[in-house]
Structure 1
Amino acid sequence: MTFSTHRRGWLQAALAGAGALALGACDRITGNPKGIGFLAGAEGLTRRAQRLVVDRKALAHEFHPSDISSDFRPNGSIDPSDTDYVALRDKGFADYRLVVDGLVDRPLSLSLADLRAAPSRTQITRHDCVEGWSSIAKWTGARLGPLLDQAGVKKTARYVVFHCGDTLEQTLDGSGQYYESIDLIDAYHPQTILAYAMNDRTLPVAHGAPLRLRVERQLGYKQAKYIMRIEAVADYAQLGRGKGGFWEDRGYEWYAGI
């Protein structure tokens, strides 16, 4: 065995161990400051190890149509009651516009027709939930990378933030609106899409209509639903509680790579 092969095997073991340990512990320790510090340390190891051993463009496994789950249960919000979202839903999303702004040269406002005309991808992939269940579905959507190129992402941008149309909980600090973020490496991954169809049908409301993120090498809570706006940012410290996402603000890992 060569040194490089040995090192790769060690890193893969470290990656799997750190990820499993952090995920298994998250429900028990996220209310504990020491526990949150542990998760942050494990997340850093997981992210660095995965970046070292996995090709940035390596594809998540794709499945055969016969593998599609007969029952793909929705989670999180399944029927948002936010006023703006309800108004869009009640008109069949005819007035929906996806805004792409922030650190870009050419801000965009895209209709669903625009998104369906954009470079797209169809993929059958497995959704792995932090709660311990998995389901397989077929997703079709606009590739995020070409849309970001169309907007002209500035060199100062490091992340893209997905602002969503659902308030998952009412909070005094105003952080209950769902949002999520990924870095530009994952944003430009070939399988990162803004899905408008599921299993060859229009994306249902329970699964995030009119548009949801599919970033296939990460856990389910990163797959933001009800996307209204995509913002390119240098950092996410000023958003929500500063951790990069709704669940991350409540103790989950920001980098949820699998």
Structure 2
Amino acid sequence: MNRRRWLSGMAVAALGAALTACDKLTTSPGVQKTLARAEGLTRRAQRLVVDRKALAQEFAEHEISPDFRANGSTSPGDADYRALVAGGFADWRLVIDGLVERPLSLSLTQLRAEPARTQITRHDCVEGWSAIGKWSGARLGPLLDRAGLKEGARYLVFHCADTLDPNAPEGLGRYYESIDLIDAYHPQSILAYDMNGAPLGVPHGAPLRLRVERQLGYKHAKYVMRIEAVADLTGIGGGKGGFWEDRGYEWYAGI
């Protein structure tokens, strides 16, 4: 019995040491640079092999998941967002600015009048689960054309209403995401305001969320308030292009 306990203790200690070593390895600057280079290679390889406008698989109505899991923020406590919820989003505006010729400020009613698309697609979460939902929303490409991107614009940053990490340093706790213009102009990239035939609910990102169907779930920013066109991602949040990217996730999450 004592020998068995000793062996079990040694196994646990060895596993702990391995995990500690693994953590130190993955957080080292050299390894981080190598992973960043690998991510860039993955992005270039996928876009070389796959047509930039190739559509993600779409499904039939009967394949919609009966229970589409809400993940991340599901009921933001930010005071400004709660006020918008209480007012039925009547005072909500989507701002499109940054490197654009004609900044926009659109109400939900105005956004619903923009060129739209409905699609039934599968949401793949980095945690390992998937669900199929029906999304309707304004096409992102025509909105960008209306705003008129300036020559230096290379990325879109989606600023959101939810503080996902209230303990983070100032400016680093609110959710944000970014994509490049190739994904922005993809036919299935929409700003969704309806889910499964009804207005988007708060757990799923009301009143507006990004759907960028060839990317993993954390790229599909919820509670979108502002879209900023930028030349690069440095100086925004932690400088890595997104809330989770600042915490070690890959920026390009193509699937």
Q: TM-score, normalised by structure 2?
A: 0.88
CA contact (8 A) 1:162 1:179 kept: yes
By how many angstroms is 1:127 displaced? 0.3
State the alpha-carbon separation in 2 of the partners of residues 31 and 234 from structure 1.
Answer: 27
1:230 aligns to 2:233 (yes or no): no
From the superposition, tell whether residues 29 and 152 of structure 1 become closer, same or farther in structure 2 (CA, over 3 Å): farther
Per-residue deviation, residues 183-218 of structure 1 (Å, max 9, x unmatched): 001001100000000000110100000000000000
| Alignment-mate amino acid for residue 53 of structure 1 | V
Q: Specify the alignment match of 1:21 in structure 2.
A: none
| Alignment-mate amino acid for residue 179 of structure 1 | Y
Q: What are the residue-to-residue correspondences of 1:203-222 with 2, within 5 Å?
A: 203-222=200-219
* 1:242 counterpart (234, 239, 242): 239
By how many angstroms is 1:36 displaced? 2.9
Unpaired stretches in structure 1, ≥5 consecutive residues: 1-25
RMSD of Structure 2 on Structure 1 (CA):
1.6
Q: Specify the alignment match of 2:182 in structure 1.
A: 185
SS of 2:158's partner is strand
Per-residue deviation, residues 74-130 of structure 1 (Å, max 9, x unmatched): 111000011111110111101110000000000000000111000000000000000
SS of 2:243's partner is coil
CA contact (8 A) 1:30 1:252 kept: no
State the alpha-carbon separation in 2 of the partners of residues 244 and 30 from structure 1.
Answer: 19
| Alignment-mate amino acid for residue 163 of structure 2 | T
Q: Specify the alignment match of 1:102 in structure 2.
A: 98
Q: How many residues align?
A: 233
CA contact (8 A) 1:166 1:178 kept: yes
SS of 1:163's partner is strand
State the alpha-carbon separation in 1 of the partners of residues 211 and 117 from structure 2.
Answer: 11
By how many angstroms is 1:28 displaced? 9.7
Q: TM-score, normalised by structure 1?
A: 0.87
Moved over 2 A (4+): 26-39
CA contact (8 A) 1:68 1:124 kept: yes
| Alignment-mate amino acid for residue 207 of structure 2 | P
Report the identity percentage: 73
CA contact (8 A) 1:101 1:232 kept: yes
1:48 aligns to 2:44 (yes or no): yes
1:57 aligns to 2:47 (yes or no): no
| Alignment-mate amino acid for residue 178 of structure 1 | Y
Q: Specify the alignment match of 2:35 in structure 1.
A: 39
State the alpha-carbon separation in 2 of the partners of residues 28 and 92 from structure 1.
Answer: 47
State the alpha-carbon separation in 2 of the partners of residues 72 and 39 from structure 1.
Answer: 32
By how many angstroms is 1:30 displaced? 5.4
Rg (Cα) greater in structure? 2
Q: Specify the alignment match of 2:109 in structure 1.
A: 113
1:252 aligns to 2:249 (yes or no): yes
From the superposition, tell whether residues 28 and 216 of structure 1 become closer, same or farther in structure 2 (CA, over 3 Å): farther
SS of 2:58's partner is coil
State the alpha-carbon separation in 1 of the partners of residues 129 and 153 from structure 2.
Answer: 34
State the alpha-carbon separation in 2 of the partners of residues 48 and 67 from structure 1.
Answer: 32
By how many angstroms is 1:174 displaced? 2.6
SS of 1:95's partner is coil
By how many angstroms is 1:40 displaced? 1.3
* 1:129 counterpart (105, 113, 125): 125
By how many angstroms is 1:142 displaced? 0.2
Per-residue deviation, residues 10-46 of structure 1 (Å, max 9, x unmatched): xxxxxxxxxxxxxxxx999754545533431321121
| Alignment-mate amino acid for residue 194 of structure 2 | A
Q: Specify the alignment match of 2:195 in structure 1.
A: 198
